[in-house]
Amino acid sequence: MPRYNPAVIEPKWQQFWETHATFQTPELPQGEKLYVLDMFPYPSGNGLHVGHPEGYTATDILCRAARMQGKTVLHPMGFDAFGLPAEEFAIKTNTPPRESTEKNIDTFRRQLKMLGFSYDWDREVATTDVDYFRWTQWIFLQLYDTWFDKEQQKGRAIAELPIPADVQAEGPAAVQRYQDEHRLAYQADALVNWCPNLGTVLANEEVQDGKSERGGHPVVRIPLRQWTLRITAYADRLESDLELLNWPRSVKKLQSDWIGRSTGAEVDFYIGAADDYAAWKKARAAQDFPAQPGDDALRIYTTRPDTLYGATYMVIAPEHPFVERLTTPENAAAVKAYCDKAAGKSDRERQEEKKKKTGVFTGSYALNPVNGEPTPVWIADYVLISYGSGAIMAVPAHDIRDLEFAQQFDLPVTAVVDPGPDAEDRDQVLAGEACFAGHGVAVHSGDYDGLSTADFKVKIAGDLAAAGMGSPAVNYKLRDWLFSRQRFWGEPFPILHELDENDQPTGVIRTVDEADLPVNLPHLDDFKPPGTPEPPLGKAPHDWLYQTIDGVRYRRETNTMPQWAGSCWYYLRYIDPKNSECFVDPAKEKAWMPVDVYIGGVEHAVLHLLYARFWHKVLFDRGHVSTPEPFQRLINQGMILGEPELNGYQTSDGQWVSAADAVVDEEQGAVLQEGTGAALSEVKLEPSQVEKKGDSFVLVDDPSIRIDHRAFKMSKSRGNVVTPDEVVSEYGADSLRLYEMFMGPLEATKPWSMNGVSGVKNFLDRVWRLIVDDRAEEMTLSDAVQDVEPTADQNRIVHKTIQAVTSDIAGLSFNTAIARMMEFVNAFTREKVRPKQSLETLVLLLSPYAPHIAEELWSVLGHADTLAYESWPEFNEELAADSTIEIPVQILGKVRAKLQAAPDISQADLEQAALADPKIAEMLAGKTIVKTIVIPGRLVNFVVK
């Protein structure tokens, strides 16, 4: 096989690695450790597409290079296999979800092995493995057994919770109720996004425009008893500890914004009987601000207590418990209709800034604590029950949403903060015609007039506290985590509910003993959700559903955990996946943690990472792990889009419309003709129907019609999915890996191009021919490969390449490292004598990127064993000292790309490097190069037709 044939080479070396357990990780690190983690995939029935391996290839390059640099590497893989998609597929095909899930895992595993990733497959886990979710259930029990000590700012065992004497006096049942109220895992009634068609509760992020993200089914808000995790107790630590992490600034901001910490005050507005107001004020002044407002006060949270005098109305959320109480009979019908409509909207939809403000008047008033003024109470869906107290004082002069609402319903606007004489819109603000949200000087605020905002805040806080009307407060946008799902395919809760003699729950909860874990899923012939909040596990066999312990009858919890549960801790199980005594051996955990590098999509920037950090901190507080944070460095790879599509637009009578005149109407979900508003149909065009004109594509039959040239996310619906199987079949796994890294920076979004894959395959062909005599009948070295010392020029190229590739791997600049190796190959291809040791260096540098061809060439160069643990090449700084320059590449005189190259790069090498650039290769596809202008060190320009 003298010619390069990946179809033969790649299976050969994959089999070698598996047979020899090449990438098996020792139990404990030997020397410096490196734990590199991929966000593990959800094994769907579609298998991988070429967008998935991008991050996996990046981590594999890091790991292969690190092994050669002497580090002990932990590089595992597993599968996040519980969840809604598998269950929906199971219902649709009447296939048990475990059966279809394990089949999907087999497909994913085959594809991952086909791409040559150096995972330690002996450490593979799936969240659906019974011996895995046994420990997921165990961790839930730790959450259930933990309360948060605010003074110590840490989680502690529930047995250490101080019990007030009056509670102890009431007996064991009262003590248990008190403990249950403080547990990190607790049950509570909550308003949830209920989707009858899917038969489960959905997170806010899974709802769009009042419909489920999956399937587009209607979603309503209903109260439901739910298991909830008290993540809010850790809000401060989750935010402050972001400073400990080497994460992208944008991701840290997303998490910080999601937590949404703010400081302000809680203030009570009186809503009791008017005759009792004086007595209420007197009683409040004689006591501390109460923890609960009582039935005669409406509590609000505000970050601006200095604007209390500007509160011209109040707003409560449609779900606020005082809605019925505050609604007068004449407003009852309107209030009910409004609240029913609001129940069909997600929190995200209600918070959209562009939407028109809506609301309804309750007919009642509350008394402002600073001036006793009656303040009308409205209901509006832009206020959420999940934030603060679910009620606000509205100050339209100093809050834009309040101003929009006031203008919509003709409510008064009173300015109480003077922005100062230098403000451009000062007159409009003071006249109530514009909003000013900044700091200034108090006006129209009684005795506080003339105070600066900062001084006013301090004084009003003290005065409110003295009057028993308010108190300083810290608030968060973060809500406690709704942890129940009304579906079958998820981890069962290790919880038993006590029943009375009539088989009704008593409210007493018992946990399953640790020795009795795992609680496995029962076999169900019918696992379809019934369309009501009663989960499918309610149909489980009697002997699974009911238990009698010590003469007491119990019913198992029939909700299941959400898919997030298994992914919250999988990185820990990889360290010790076969341990049946504990979830991870403490010595191994201490040796391997934290994860040094974590790579995955930015779509998990908030929830998965926040949830995993929360679980980890609880485990840290309880002494089960040794680090306060799980993931030290985070990298988000960019998305790989499908090949760019050529789209034209036509009117109903078939007339073409230029792309410049086609406008997407997001509300209607349609493309309209600008000016006329006529609906346009989108037509996919073949390359033969268009031609390039400047920066655009135009219709061949009518060059005045400009065509869209856009790349979209890969999806079955668009028909633009490219699978690894088809690419590997035609070009090989090494070409796929190399192209995904050569497309551009790892974090960038990039369109796929088969021409680009072909280009890097040509490069690997050239690497092969550099070393192997592909004209011989037997596998043999090229005659040019000789066991001689390299020349000074050759040595310089070698050391510059080692330096560049080493630095680029450390900086995750994989595309530029490949460009460096291309320059090496270009230079040595022209050499009549190619020193063997120089080519061995190239093979070692190439091996993390294209491991199969590198292993084969290493063998051809005379080595008997794998190169996986060969020493990484070292460079001489003096020989590698030359800097690089940036050289523009033009097509028809316009710069289309820029290359990094040595200042003395030859004319031929510069031309080859330009042709190898994926962007240039794509733009030249199908074109004839009439002339190539190369000015070494300056530019490359292709004249084409």
Specify binding-site residues for ATP.
Answer: 716
Give the phi and the psi of residue 370 in degrees, each rounded to 5. -90, -20
CB 596 within 8 Å of CB 35: yes
The rounded Cα 452 to chain-centroid distance in angstroms is 42
Reported in sequence order, the residue ranges of 380-416 that DSSP labels E, i.e. its strands, are: 391-394
CB 599 within 8 Å of CB 37: yes
d(CA 173, CA 170): 8
d(CA 482, CA 226): 7
d(CA 443, CA 942): 69
Supply the Cα-derived Rg of the chain in whole angstroms: 33
Of 825, 856, 868, give the one whose Cα is nearest residue 12: 856
Token pair for 575: 């360290």
Which residue do the tokens 């009262």 mark? Answer: 174
Q: Which residues contact 667 (CB under 8 A, 6 or more apart)?
A: none
Q: Which residues of 163-192 are buried (b: 16+ CB within 10 A; e: fewer)?
A: eeeeeeeeeeeebeebbbebbbbbbeebbb
Q: Give the CB-side neighbour count of residue 489, counting CA atoms within 13 A.
A: 27
Strands 125-126 and 645-650: unpaired
Using a 10 angstrom Cβ sphere, with 0-12 exposed, 13-18 middle and 19 or more buried, the burial of residue 903 is exposed
Which residue do the tokens 């509760």 mark? Answer: 201
Residues at the binding site are: 716
Q: Could you give the 3-state DSSP secondary structure of residue 296?
A: coil
Integer angstrom CA distances of residue 360 from 217, 317, 341, 380, 493: 28, 11, 12, 7, 42
* 152, β-bridge pairs: none
Token pair for 286: 């004689």
Give the phi and the psi of residue 162 in degrees, each rounded to 5. -65, 130
Which residue do the tokens 């020989």 mark? Answer: 879
Phi-psi region at 210: left, alpha or beta (left = phi > 0; alpha = psi -120 to 50)? left
